[in-house]
Each structure stands twice: as C-alpha cells, then as structure tokens.
Structure 1
C-alpha cells in the first residue's frame, strides 16, 4: 500500500516540479511587486509634492539598472548557483522598498525605487530563474517548463495589486511598501531549490562548452541573436509604459476610480494563461515566428484601444488581450536562446539580450511621464508603442534558429 502510494505521488515531487514551483513563487513576488509601482505615482505626487516626471524617472531607472545588472546576475548564477544570487537580490529589493517608504525627497526615492530595486529585480526574476528551469528540464519540455514558471509568476500581479491598493487606501503608502518589503524577504531562501539538478536535464556535452567569452562573441556575431535582442527592446518599451501609466491615463479619460488597478490585475490574470500557452506553443512551433505574431497582435490591440472610445468594457477587453501576450515573450525568447546556444551560459546570454528589453522599459516608463508633463497627454507614447511593435514583428520572422556547436569554437580562428 505504502509502496503504491509512494509510486503514485513520486512524480509530483520530482526535481523539475520543485524547481518550477520555487521559480514561480520567486517570480510572483518580484514581478508582482514591481507591477504595483504605477499605483504610487498619484500618491507620491499629491502627498509628497513630487513631480510626475521625477516619480516616473525613479520607476524607469529600476528598469535600466535591472537591465545593466542582469548579465552580471545571470553570470553569477551560472557560476555560483542561484541560492546566493536570489538571497542577495531579495534583500536588496526589500531595502529599496523600505527606503522608498520613508523617502522624504526625490533623491532618496530614486536610490530606493530606482537603484536598489533594480539590482534586486535582476537577481530574482527571469535572468536567474528561467536558466535554472532550462537546465533541469529536458529539451523537448524546456519551453513548456519556462512557460509554466512565467505563468505561475503572474499570480503575483493578480494578488499584489489589490493587496497594495487595499493597504494603501487604509494605511497609507509607507505601510503598503513595508508589507511588500517583508514579502520579498520571505522568498530569499527559495533560491536553494533552484540549484537542484536532474539527470535528464542539461546534456552532458554542455558542461564542456566553450568559455563564456567565446560564446558571447559568437552570439554577438550571430544575426539572429542581434535581431532577437533588438526586438526585445519593444517588449520592455510597451509593457513598462502600460504598467506605469495606464492607471493615470484611465483617470484622465474619466474612467471609474480603481479601474486602473483592476486592469493591471486582469493583465496579470490573463498573463497566466498567455505565458503557459506561449510555452506550450513554443515546444511545437518555431519560437521566432510565434514572437513575430505576438508583437503584431499586441500592436493592433494597443492601436485599437487608443483610437476607439473608452468604456469599462473596452478597458477589460484591452487588459485581457494584453495579458494573453504580456510575458509570453520571455519563455519564447529564453527558449530560443537556449535552442541556438545551449543552456550552459543561458543566464549570461539571456541577460545581455534582456538589457535591450530594459532599455526599452526605462524609456517607456520615463518618456511617458515626460510626455505627459510637456504636453498634458500620453498620445505620443501610445502611438510609439504601436510603431515599435510593428518593427519588432518584422525583425523576428527572418531569425535563423539553427543550433550552433559551441564546442567547435576552440577550433575556429579568432574573428571567424
């Protein structure tokens, strides 16, 4: 009886499942918390007298810091394991939230929500979590596993936004930020689980792959990697602008109070299905083609939402469609990098690619605030998100996804 039961439940607790669950929890906390920052623009502006441009800059800066720190965080996780990287990142993230909670001026807000949060996010999100999942999953199930982690991570956005909204309205901005800091500290030990290994995971030949310097040089020369990196800029630009400025934009459109928070929560809810679906599709169809169609769908949706009359129904539909395409780019992009270059240096290679994403995130969040302060409207940024999305779609379709042999690098002459 006990033997039968142990056989029945053993697969549920296999190493791959544990890594997926731990990765989803880490992403839920880190990504869910940063998606709430748009809810603080109004309170910081009215209660502390800070200009919208400065608040948007602080939020945008964490995206830029995240991008520049991500290759280093990914390389550290590749070399030393995820446990110390996640623990350091969660602690730094919490410190940044705590500083933002008590910041009396814009300079400290920039240090807390910009610099410290940016470093913390780089150690607790995709560039550290997804490579750990990619190494433990079999190649045929890798895209699905990454999609599951990304989908599970979206639960944080669904839960965090109403939690923050409720605490902020009842107890104030500082209390809500301190609660978020405490939640980040709770996930610090979960990096230990990400370091588990499975015999069916990474192919043995990848442990003998060429050094990072040589693989990175090859990636930079690879046309497909360059196109993927350029296209990833658009993802960050679109998502950061919408996540940061959608609540304020809906207020300007005289939408009901709280609809902005509801829209962000709906994006997170539908992103759970969208990320899972993109991971599943990525295991069955060519990932760069899926990315091209995803950017096209996004751009058409954004353009229609901006041009058509606003109503509660249109906001809900917009949030649903955007949610389905929100973070589906991440398992597809990371899976494509793993397919072409292997998983040995996936954290580093994805980190470099992700830097482009975060430069886009910085510009999307910051330029939204700047455009509003200068023109009193978000129209220019809505139009820019559509144009950049169409360009990104065209960049992805011609990508060559043929796997390269990193073992052959040692035999090639320099600059080949």
Structure 2
C-alpha cells in the first residue's frame, strides 16, 4: 500500500493497553459528554430569560457566538492536535467548557452571557468535542475500523443529546437552572481522564520520509482550498450547521409558543438524538457501499423536505416527535461521510486541521441560524422566515455535493536524484 495520501501511522507501541475497543469506547464517552450540554441549552432560554429579564435575541447572540467560536477555534485546535497530540488540547478544552458552564450559572448581563455561553463554551467545544475524537480515531485506528468508528463517535454525540435533553429538563424543573448548569460543569471534567486513551503522538518527520509526509501546514491549506471538491464539501457543510444550530436552540421555544409542553419539547430533542444514533451508524456503514457525495445529497434534501412538511401542518405532540425522529436520522449523519471524504482526499497527516476548516463553514452557518432566529423572532414574533431559509439551504446543499470527486488529490511523485 502506498502513502500517496500522506497517511500517518501510529508509532510502535502507541496502542499498548489502549486497544481499538478501549479507544472507541473512551472516544464515544467524550463525544457523549461534550455534545450533551450544548444540545440542551435551548431549554435554559425561557427560565433564564424570565429570571434575568433577557430577550431571545440576547440568548441568540450568545449562542451564535458559541457556534462561531467553536468553528473558528476548531482549525487552531486541530493544528495543535496534529502537531503536538490530541491529549493536551482535550484537557484545555474540557476545562474551558466546564468554566463556561459555571460562569453561565452566575451570568446576569448580556456581556457575561456572551463571555460564558459564547466565548468559553465555544472555545471549549473546539478543544474537546467529537471533531477531535474523530481525528484521534483516524490516526489511532486501522483503516478497516475507521468507517464504523467514525459513525460510532458521531452517534455517541447524538446519544448525549438523547440523554441530556430530558435530563436537563428534569434538573431545571426540580433543582433550577442554576444547579443544572453546575451539574453539567462537573460532568465535563470527566473528559480529562477519558482523553488519556485518545492521546496521539506528536508529529515527527524523518529525514527519509515520503514527500507527502513532509507536507507543511501552509502547503496543506493551499492544496485543500485549491481543490474543487473540498471547496464544494465545505460550502455544503454550511447548511448542516445552519439547520442544526437553529433547531437545537430555537425548536424548544418554537414548540412552547405553539402550546407544546417543555417536557414534550425535551423528548423531541431526545428523539433527534436517539434516531441520529441509527442515522449515524447507518451512514457509517452505507458509505462503504454507496458514493459519499450521493449520501450527503440525499441527507440534505431529506432535511429540507422534513422541515417543509413540519411547518406546513398544525403542530401537535405527535407531529413534533415525528419531526424529531425524521430529523434525527439526518442530524449528524453528514459527519461520517464528510470526515471520510477529507481523509480520502488528503490523508490523515493534517486531518484535524482540514476537517477543522470544513467545520468553520458548518459553524458560520450555525452562527447565522441561531443569531438570525433570535433577531427574526424579536422583530416579527415568528420563526417562519428562518424555517423557509433552512429549506432553501437544504436544497442548494443537495445540489452542491453532487459534483464532488471521491478520489485522493493528485500530487507530484518525488523522483530519485
């Protein structure tokens, strides 16, 4: 097997006690923990808003900042992880995440909410979310196990959503939103010991290493952004972030506005997480059979269609849960084929960095989805324009992914002297 894609292999003895099963289990646990609180944050908007006299536009801006900074911090965290190893990045990320949740509990002004829920949690997520888990899987696991591992890591994040949504609602109802945030902060510290299993070695380049393994950071970026298929993949990922962030933050309030109870809203978000486990694992398996670009196109079109049907009929408990189930099947199932395409095109040498830049597009979409959702609601008292924008973006992304070429990037072969 050649190394034309610049694939790095783990150093001898790096596995040791860390068998592939241990790596996958610990990585999935980290994905579960890190994705749980941020997917439950929508349930804090109404009780915090009542107690602090803050509007949804204020929360929308703070959570939009969270999504944006998560995205902007991802390439930086990825580059550090690629160069120095994943472990230290995850430890710092977990500490920032826990600190942001703790500071959010004591936030009383828009600025303190922006700093806690926005800046600290945003940068914390960039250092300890499932994105770095997928990077560690790509570097530590053999190629034949990566497909299902990428699907499992993504599904674990969804299972965190399934667990934390009703758990968060129950905490808020029984002990208040302040204590709920403290509990979430303490749980984030569990990421630190779990990250020991995902430690990757610092990048070293031998003098006689293949040219592709000596590729610099700048060269890798220039190659990626000069590659048409990568650019299309990045543009399509924008829609995923826009739809997911808007639904995560504003769907609970949207349902409440239409007479659906908070408990039902919790189970709708939980249904999204539960069914995304099926979707992520299913796509992780299907991408070994069908072209990944077609899978992505179907996912985006299905999302657009499900949103169209959901907003076109009266909202009931049944329709809300059905929407959660259908949405869950396509929720994070874009991640396994997207990350697999990045690894296929460019190898794993700079995987965390290049996937991180794709994730920037995702989070810019998330920023706009959350921010515009809050602004539009405060201005018009309705989320309808944003729902229709989500439908339009879904159709456009379904078309954008079709021309992607699924092949390693062409690189010049070094000639012997």
- Kindly state the Cα deviation for residue 312 of structure 1 after the two structures are TM-superposed: 1.3
Match 1:226 to one of 221, 231, 244: 231
Match for 1:317 among 288, 305, 322?
322
Query: What are the Cα deviations for residues 116-166 of structure 1, in whole angstroms up to 9, with x where unaligned?
Result: 000000011133111110122333432221001111222211111122111
Distance 1:31 1:300 in 2: 26
Decide whether the 8 Å contact of 2:86 with 2:198 is kept in 1: yes
Partners of 1:209 and 1:126 in 2: CA distance:
27
| Cα distance in 1, alignment partners of residues 181 and 196 from structure 2 | 26
Q: 2:403 maps to which residue?
A: 398
8 Å Cα contact 1:267/1:322 also seen in 2: yes
Aligned residue number for residue 7 of structure 2: none
Displacement of 1:362: 0.6
Contact 1:142–1:283 (Cα < 8 Å) also in 2: no
| Secondary structure, counterpart of 2:189 in structure 1 | helix
Structure 2, gaps ≥5 residues long:
1-16, 202-208
Q: What secondary structure is seen at the aligned counterpart in 1 of 2:365?
A: helix
Shift, 1:229, TM fit: 0.4
Q: Relative to structure 1, is the Cα distance of residues 346 and 121 closer, same or farther in structure 2, using a 3 angstrom cutoff?
A: same
Deviation at 1:196, TM superposition (A): 5.7
Distance of 2:410 and 2:141 partners within structure 1: 20
Number of residues paired by the alignment? 393
Q: Which residue of 2 aligns with 1:365?
A: 370
1:328 is aligned to 333
The partner residue of 1:148 within 128, 147, 152 is 152
**Residue aligning to 1:39:** 43
Deviation at 1:189, TM superposition (A): 2.1
Q: Are residues 1:186 and 2:190 paired? A: yes
- The structural deviation recorded for 1:14 is 6.4
Equivalent position of 2:258 in the other structure: 253
Pick closer, same or farther for the CA change 1:159–1:207 going to 2, 3 Å.
farther
Task: Map residues 119-134 of structure 1 onto 2, 5 A cutoff.
Answer: 119-134=123-138
CA distance in 1, matches of 2:312, 2:117: 33
Call closer, same or farther: CA 1:223–1:176 in 2, change over 3 Å.
Answer: same
**Comparing 292-301 and 309-318, the one that deviates more:** 309-318
For structure 1, list consecutive stretches of 5 or more residues without a partner in the other structure: 1-12, 198-203, 412-416
Q: Contact conserved, 1:299 with 1:390, CA < 8 A, in 2? A: yes
Q: Choose from 338, 352, 356 the match for 1:351.
A: 356
Q: Report the alpha carbon displacement of residue 17 of structure 1 after superposing the two structures with TM.
A: 1.6
CA drift of 1:380 comes to 0.2
Q: 1:75 to 1:196 in 2, by over 3 A?
A: closer
CA 1:105–1:206 in structure 2 vs 1: closer, same or farther (change >3 Å)? farther
Matched, 1:90 2:94: yes
**1:165 equivalent in structure 2:** 169
Give the C-alpha shift of residue 60 in structure 1: 1.1
- Determine the structure 2 residue equivalent to 1:64: 68
Point out the structure with the larger helix share.
1
C-alpha separation in 1, matches of 2:144 and 2:29:
24
Q: Helix, strand or coil: the match of 2:136?
A: helix
What does the per-residue CA deviation read over 1:352-381, in whole Å, with 9 as the maximum and x for residues that have no partner?
A: 110000000011111111100000000000
Aligned ranges for residues 280-319 of structure 1 at < 5 Å?
280-319=285-324
Classify 1:24/1:207 alpha carbon distance in 2 versus 1 (closer, same or farther; 3 Å). Answer: farther
Q: For residues 189-204 of structure 1, what are the structure 2 equivalents within 5 Å?
A: 189-195=193-199
* Separation in structure 2 between the aligned mates of residue 409 and residue 70 of structure 1, nearest angstrom: 31
Q: Tell me the SS of whatever aligns to 1:255.
A: coil
- CA-atom RMSD in angstroms: 1.8
CA contact (8 A) 1:206 1:342 kept: no
Q: How far is 1:70 from its partner?
A: 0.3
Contact 1:19 1:196 in 2 (8 A): no
Does structure 1 retain, via aligned residues, the 8 Å contact 2:303–2:394? yes
